[in-house]
């Protein structure tokens, strides 16, 4: 993959000797790539990402993968509450109202595959910003094709059906899978559906419970992965 360089000063060392074991996907909600790059390189903004991907499929590296970029903010996945120290952040240029382009998705796939190989990141640790911060963040949103990534082993997916609607079971399974941020249950449901049931609305359904139970059974998150 061809990379362009656009260094950002907004970075630091990963805390506690942490290594990245999460790939975190975002959308920018900004209109164009140049605006995104300038903002993520502005010291006053105090935000950054390791990579930016344009709608045309161009990829810019802003922070070395070994360093800690400032993209996740407050959030939690499993026992990890310093997601910046444990993740590699990818900003996908998208205003949140249009589909992700085909060239852009191909670059996402190539970049994610390389990161997973370099850092031994399992597919269940390829996450969206809304997974680690439900309600506070909604990106990469329901238009992002998680199933497409999952079919290539770059994310996880479920098409389980059945089950009765049971909030207690849904929330319990959510924590086992990794949704440990403290949020209201309707906020959790929205974040889950945006990723695993895009377009679903209304009250909790059996399909929500079935899919969450399936994911929890197959991909239970460790309370805290050992650092190596």
Angle at 135 between CA 129 and CA 140, to 5 degrees: 30
197-204: list long-range contacts, CB under 8 Å, 24+ apart: 198/142, 198/143, 199/142, 203/165, 204/165, 204/167, 204/170
For the beta carbon of residue 205, count every other beta carbon within 10 angstroms: 17
Rg of the Cα atoms in the chain: 17
Determine which one of 34, 56, 91, 182 is catalytic: 91
Active site residue 98: no
* Helix residue ranges per DSSP H, the chain: 33-40, 83-86, 102-119, 129-132, 146-151, 167-177, 185-196, 206-218
The neighbouring-strand residues paired with 37 are none
Structure tokens at 112: 């994610």
Catalytic residues: 91
């Amino acid at each position: 993959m061809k990379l362009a360089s656009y260094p950002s000063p907004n970075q630091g060392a990963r805390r506690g000797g942490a290594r990245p074991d999460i790939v975190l996907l975002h959308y920018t909600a900004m209109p164009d790539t140049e605006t995104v790059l300038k903002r993520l390189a502005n010291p006053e903004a105090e935000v950054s990402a390791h990579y930016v991907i344009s709608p045309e499929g161009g990829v810019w590296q802003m922070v070395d993968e070994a360093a800690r970029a400032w993209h996740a903010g407050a959030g939690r996945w499993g026992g990890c509450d310093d997601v910046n120290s444990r993740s590699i952040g990818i900003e996908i240029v998208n205003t949140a109202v249009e589909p992700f382009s085909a060239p852009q998705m191909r670059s996402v796939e190539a970049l994610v595959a390389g990161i997973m190989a370099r850092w031994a990141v399992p597919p269940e640790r390829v996450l969206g910003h809304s997974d680690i911060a439900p309600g506070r963040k909604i990106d990469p949103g329901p238009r992002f094709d998680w199933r497409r990534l999952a079919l290539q082993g770059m994310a996880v997916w479920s098409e389980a059906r059945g089950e009765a609607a049971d909030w207690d079971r849904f929330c319990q399974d959510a924590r086992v899978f990794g949704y440990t941020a403290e949020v209201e249950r309707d906020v959790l449901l929205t974040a889950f559906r945006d990723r695993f049931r895009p377009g679903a609305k209304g009250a909790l359904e059996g399909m929500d419970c079935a899919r969450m139970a399936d994911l929890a059974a197959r991909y239970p998150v460790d309370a805290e992965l050992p650092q190596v």
